[in-house]
Chain A
Amino acid sequence: QVQLQESGPGLVKPSQPLSLSCTVSGGSINSGDYYWTWIRQPPGKGLEWIGYIYSSGSTYYNPSLKSRVTISLDTSKNQFSLKLSSVTAADTAVYYCASYTTGTTYFDYWGQGTLVTVSS
């Protein structure tokens, strides 16, 4: 059973980068069994998919955020990370890490989510 846990600052200043990590347990980030993704949800609003990374290091980002997003792997820590540059108040959201089984695109494992507020 895969378990995911987000970590990172809860408050980020406008124009600064947002950086979050997701620690994976119960499975290896290198296994190729899963795609590792980030999804966000502004307070009181719906879900927005940010992007994924695969064990090979290949990535795909939502075109709406592509110019500002980087997702990377840290295999030594069994983690993957999100970096979102030049944040504004519109980036205030609960950020979830999630995974889906290779061959599907259904998010079957989720972290608990972490609220990131962009404010000076």
Chain B
Amino acid sequence: DIQMTQSPSSVSASVGDRVTITCRASQGISSWLAWYQQKPGKAPKLLIYAASSLQSGVPSRFSGSGSGTDFTLTISSLQPEDFAAYYCQQANSFPVTFGQGTRLEIK
């Protein structure tokens, strides 16, 4: 299985801050990576697919980059509704695997 490792596990930030979350795959996955946002008690929501493509309806302050083994999710200017958990997911091979998550908290 491909292991996905996110860092940090949690981060505190303020509204308006720029935040970057990283995800590393245990082997190369080209650009087969997605990012999800999950709010408490809700299902995950697809934000970014193919490492850098923005899902329809997702605000442009979210962006993704990377290929191979190293990827980043950037939120350019945090809004109150962005405080949530974020997960990366590799789509290169089965079984599909997720990172352990990053909790984004209000400072």
For B99, give its contact among A46, A64, A111 (CB under 8 Å).
Answer: A46
Select from chain B the residue with minimum beta-carbon distance to A6. B43
For the complex, is B91 an interface residue (Cβ under 8 Å from A)? yes
What is the 8 Å Cβ interface bit string for chain B, positions 70-107, against chain A (1 contact, 0 not)? 00000000000000000101010011111111000000
Closest CB in chain B relative to A75 CB, distance in Å? 24
User: What count of chain B residues pass the 8 Å CB interface test?
Assistant: 23
Tell me, rounded to whole Å, the shortest Cβ–Cβ distance linking B12 to chain A: 19
A47-75 contacts to B, CB under 8 A, are: 47-49, 60, 62-64
Q: Counting CB contacts under 8 A, is A120 at the interface?
A: no
**B54 contacts the other chain (CB 8 A):** no
Given A46-B100, A46-B101, A113-B43: A108 touches B55 (CB 8 Å cut-off): yes
Cβ-based interface call for A105 (8 A): yes
A112 at the interface (CB under 8 A from B): yes
Question: Chain A interface residue count: which class?
Answer: 10 to 19
- Residues of B1-56 at the interface with A, using a CB-CB cut-off of 8 Å, are 1, 32, 34, 36, 42-46, 49-50, 55
Instruction: Check if B44 sits within 8 Å of A110, measured CB to CB.
Output: yes
Main secondary structure of the interface of B (DSSP, over half): loop
The residue among B34, B43, B50 with the most chain A CB atoms within 10 A of its own CB is: B43
Contact of A105 (CB < 8 Å), options: B1, B91, B100, B101: B91
> Is B43 within 8 A of A47, CB to CB?
no
Chain A 62-95: CB-based contact to B (< 8 A → 1; otherwise 0): 1110000000000000000000000000000000
Within 8 Å by CB of B98, from A49, A64, A104, lies: A49
Chain A residue contacts of B96, Cβ below 8 A: 49, 105
Select which of A63, A96, A106 is within 8 A of B95 by beta carbon: A63
Find chain A residues with CB under 8 A from B50 CB.
Answer: 106
- Bound Cα distance from A110 to B44, whole angstroms: 7
Q: A46-B99, A47-B98 are in contact. Are A106 and B46 (CB under 8 A)?
A: yes
Name A residues whose Cβ lies closer than 8 Å to a Cβ of B.
46-49, 60, 62-64, 96, 98, 104-108, 110-113
